[in-house]
């Protein structure tokens, strides 16, 4: 039985993966933003839960403290929390919301849990997206989207950051027993993009969406493939996956210097140094 922490577990693929992993005999620690939704999923599974809104880094720090106090082992950390947002908005921490929720929050949480994760020889999983390849216009000097912004480009940039983080995480911590992987869950029929307007919203919320898009259970299986699998045997650490296969993504995803610079700038932004 592994102890598996899943953020963004109150609905969508996070909740689906939680149900599947519990059915396989694992202890799943659910993390969500909504008290009501997170509690309902956790109680239905008879599993523990914690609350945190990743648009507030103070809540991420509190979450890390709670996890360290409660769980002597963390075998898997699945950084699944994220989202796409509408007009550009800064968080209370002063960062563009999409970048913080999708990248800076998970980056901070992972680093705060480092010692426990290393002790556990943990797998660290990022829920990325094919949006990194399709929509990203990544500019390391404009991480907050101050010069050029659109909701879908910001989301693509954040998902590329997830993949760059995975690569650099593997390079820095792999020798200590950590295995990192990133994956695309599919274009999943959830409430995703419900706060947008235009074609991106229509793609997810038109009357045919539930028939044509990937189900949450199928998307959850993509996470389970990595969380339940054995690194180095079932999946390749440091790689990006689509449909449970190593897949190419944006050409910048293999830029080692860019991955290092993103890491260093993220450290400064969340004040880890």
DSSP secondary-structure letter at 180? Answer: E
DSSP secondary-structure letter at 101? Answer: I
Contacts of 175 (CB under 8 A, 6+ apart): none
- 21 near 4, Cβ under 8 Å? yes
Residue 149 a catalytic site member:
no
Angle between helices 35-45 and 12-23 (to 10 degrees): 20
**Given phi > 0 = left and psi -120 to 50 = alpha, else beta, which region is 232?**
left
Annotated catalytic residue: which of 49, 71, 149, 155? Answer: 155
Alpha carbon distance 79, 209 (integer Å): 26
Contacts of 142 (CB under 8 A, 6+ apart): 148
Closest CA to 128 of 16, 223, 266, 263: 223
Catalytic residues: 155
């Amino acid at each position: 039985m592994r102890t598996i922490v899943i953020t963004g577990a109150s609905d969508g693929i996070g909740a689906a993966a939680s149900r599947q992993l519990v059915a396989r005999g694992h202890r799943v620690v659910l993390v969500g933003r909504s008290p009501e939704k997170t509690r309902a999923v956790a109680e239905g599974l008879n599993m523990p839960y914690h609350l945190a809104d990743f648009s507030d880094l103070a809540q991420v720090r509190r979450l890390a403290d709670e996890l360290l106090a409660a769980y002597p082992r963390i075998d898997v950390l699945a950084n699944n929390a994220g989202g796409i947002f509408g007009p550009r908005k800064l968080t209370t921490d002063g960062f563009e919301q999409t970048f913080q929720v999708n990248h800076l929050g998970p980056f901070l949480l992972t680093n705060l849990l480092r010692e426990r994760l290393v002790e556990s020889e943990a797998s660290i999983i990022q829920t990325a997206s094919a949006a990194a390849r399709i929509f990203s216009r990544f500019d390391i000097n404009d991480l907050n989207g101050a010069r050029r912004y659109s909701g879908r480009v910001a989301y693509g940039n954040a998902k590329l950051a997830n993949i760059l983080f995975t690569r650099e995480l593997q390079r820095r911590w792999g020798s200590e027993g950590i295995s990192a992987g990133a994956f695309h869950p599919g274009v999943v029929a959830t409430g995703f993009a419900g706060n947008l307007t235009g074609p991106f919203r229509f793609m997810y919320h038109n009357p045919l969406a539930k028939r044509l898009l990937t189900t949450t259970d199928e998307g959850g299986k993509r996470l389970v493939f990595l969380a339940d699998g054995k690194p180095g045997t079932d999946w390749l650490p440091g790689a990006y996956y689509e449909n449970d296969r190593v897949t190419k993504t944006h050409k910048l995803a293999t830029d080692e210097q860019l991955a290092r610079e993103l890491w260093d700038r993220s450290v400064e932004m969340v004040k880890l140094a």
